[in-house]
Amino acid sequence: MKNFRYILVLTVLTMFAFTSCNTDDDVIFTPRNINEVKLATTGDVIVSVATTEHPVTVDLGTTLTQDALLTYTVNGTVFNETVNAGVATYDIMITNALGQINEVVLNDIEVLYDADFDIDVDNNTTRIIGGPEDADSPFIGITFDGNAYDLDLFVKTGESDTNGFTIVSSEGVTGSETVTFPGTAADGAYSVEIVEFNGFFTPATGDNIPYEVLVIHPDVSDAGFATYNKEVVLSGFPLTFEKATDAGTGAVSYTFTEL
C-alpha cells in the first residue's frame, strides 16, 4: 500500500513538472520596434552664403504620437529643442556665414512613456561649410594670434612671386584675414602670400608666427575644404593654385598645391 502511495505521488509530481515546462515553452517574446533617428544628409556640405540659415533635417523614423525632446550639439555647444507630435522630420536651423564651419551632432531624443527611439550613430553628424555665392570663387582665410601679431593676406599672380600682381587682399587688424578669389579672373597660376605687417607702431618681429590657412572650394578636397597649419617669418607662400577653364564646356577647375 505504501509503495502504491509513493508511486501515485511521484506520478503527480512528474505530470506537474512536465506541465510547467510546457507552459514556459509557450511564452512568446515580441521584439521591440526601434525607430532609428538620423540626419537626412551627413558628411560635409558646402552652402552658399546667399543662404543665411541652412536646415539640417532630422529623420525621426516614424511620425511622433507625442512631443519629444531632441538634444544636439553645434561645434560642441549643447542645444535642446522640443519636437511637436505629428511630424516625421524636423529641421535644425543653422546660421550660415562665409568661411564658417558648423559641425552638427545628434546626441539624444527623449519621448515620454516611449523608449523605442535610438540615435543612429552612423548617421548623426554633418558639417555645414559657408562657401562663396559663386561656386567658381575659392574662399581663402587665415587665423592667428591677433594679440601678438598682425598678418596680412594677398593673392598674387605667378608662382610664389613677391612681385606678382595682387588680385585680392585682406589687410585688417584682427586675428583673421579672409578673401574670395574672383571666379572671373584669368586662367593661370596664382599664389597665396602671407606678410607680417611692418607699420610704424607695429614693427615686424621676425618671429616664427604660427597661423592656419582655410580654403573652401570643391576642388581642394573631397570634403570641399582644407586647412593647413603653417609658420611664417616676415613673409611666405603657404600654397599656390592653378585656375583652368574647359574650352568646350566652360567649366572652371582649380588645382591647389601646398608649399
Q: What is the CATH number of the domain that holds 57?
A: 2.60.40.2030
At which of 84, 104, 131 does a domain end? 131
18 by Cβ neighbours in 10 Å (0-12 / 13-18 / 19+) ranks as exposed
The CA distance from 106 to 115, in Å, is: 17
Set of cell numbers at residue 208: 616664427
- 160 and 238 in a single domain? The answer is yes
Decide the pairing of beta strands 68-74 and 125-131.
Answer: unpaired
**What is residue 205's predicted lDDT score, i.e. its pLDDT?**
83
- 143 and 253 in a single domain? The answer is yes
Q: 167 is in which domain, residue-wise?
A: 139-258
Please tell me the total count of domains within the chain. 2
- 146 and 254 in a single domain? The answer is yes
C-alpha dihedral sign at 226, 227, 228, 231: positive
The CA distance from 150 to 170, in Å, is: 11
Q: Is residue 15 part of a domain?
A: no
At which of 102, 131, 160 does a domain end? 131
Whether 232 contacts 209, CB under 8 Å: yes
Query: In the chain, pLDDT over 90 holds for what percent of residues?
Result: 66
Residues 6+ apart with CB under 8 A from 95: 52, 53, 102
Whether 195 contacts 202, CB under 8 Å: no
What b/e readout covers 103-127, taking b as 16+ CB neighbours within 10 angstroms?
ebbbeebebeeeeebebbeebbbbb
At which of 91, 108, 131 does a domain end? 131
Reported as a single tens digit per residue, the pLDDT across 222-246 is 888 999 999 999 999 999 999 999 9
**Consecutive 10-residue averages of pLDDT for the chain (259 residues):** 49 51 52 78 91 94 90 96 94 94 93 78 93 92 92 95 95 92 95 88 82 93 91 94 95 94
Reported as a single tens digit per residue, the pLDDT across 167-212 is 999 999 889 999 999 999 999 999 999 999 887 667 788 889 999 9
- 67 and 147 in a single domain? The answer is no
